[in-house]
Amino acid sequence: MSNFQSEFENLARVVRRRLLRMHHESGVGHIGGNLSCLDALLCLHHAVLKESDVFVLSKGHAVGALYATLWSRGRLSDDDLRKFHGENTQLAAHPVAGWMPEIVFATGSLGHGLSLSAGLALGKRLQGQEGQVYCVCSDGEWQEGSTWEALIFAHHHQLDNLTVLVDVNGLQGFGATSDVASMADLQTRIAAFGVEVVGIDGHDAEAICTAARPGVGQPRFVLMRTVKGRGVSFMENRMEWHYLPLDDRQYEQALAEQEPL
């Protein structure tokens, strides 16, 4: 393991601890899908995003990972995170738009984030603005017609200022994506539209940082092979952790597994 990957994994363990605490204190589920994309969000916000860039979390039910990531960047405090999922909170279960610069859209009605991101990318081009638009979406969203329409739009306008990272954890609310509505091989299907597509290990920090770059004359799509519940042994690749909250015993076990390397 390289020094970069080792340092990143220790950061990820710290942030996973904070994410688990936030969800446990709030009694909220959706932990599995938060953990599958957390590494990508950390890479983007710690090593990739520039001031002129925009980030869109299309899979809005993974907003806990975004809040924990922004906490790791000093943009949210522990007091902020204690309000997660509470009454009259800005840290709702899905992103609330506009209250901080890092959250530009309310998302989580799945299938909308890529359309919004493509519109942002075209808007930047038309206004002569610098910067890349980064969108993180789920593999389940590729069962939505609006996502494919956004792909057609992005290809047609050659939006090379749009980079899309797909969290391919293979599970969704009612089972495996292959059982609910199979889209395999997703990489081949997306590439058939003429855009640039790469497949990577979605928990390899170096691979994520390398892949999350602008395309060449077309939008770039990064299909990240991930593990739902990544980093918590009893959650990994288990569909029920799309929903379940942690009880006290599970919480203590999950925390114990986050010791530094």
Domain positions in the chain are: 3-256
What one-letter code names the amino acid at 67?
Y
pTM metric for this prediction: 0.96
Predicted pLDDT of residue 39:
98
Query: What is the sign, positive or negative, of the torsion defined by CA atoms of 48, 82, 35, 146?
Result: negative
Asked if 139 contacts 167 with a C-beta cutoff of 8 angstroms, the reply is yes
Q: Provide the pLDDT for residue 16.
A: 98
pLDDT at 171: 86
Output the pLDDT for position 177.
Answer: 87
Which residues, 6+ apart, have CB-to-CB distance to 7 below 8 Å? none
Q: What was the pLDDT predicted at 72?
A: 98
**CA 56, CA 147: separation in Å to the nearest integer?**
14
Angle at CA of residue 5, ends 205 and 256, nearest 5°: 100
**3-class state of residue 82 by DSSP:** coil
Looking at domain 3-256, which of 3.40.47.10, 2.30.110.10, 3.40.50.970, 1.20.210.10 is its CATH number? 3.40.50.970
pLDDT at res. 179: 87
* Tokens matching residue 177: 């994506």
Q: From 204, 212, 215, select the one nearest 47 (Cα to Cα).
A: 212
The sign of the dihedral angle between the CA atoms of 50, 30, 4, 196 is negative
Residues of the chain with pLDDT under 70: 1
Token pair in block for residue 186 = 């997703």
- pLDDT for the residue numbered 14: 97
Q: What is the pLDDT of residue 1?
A: 67
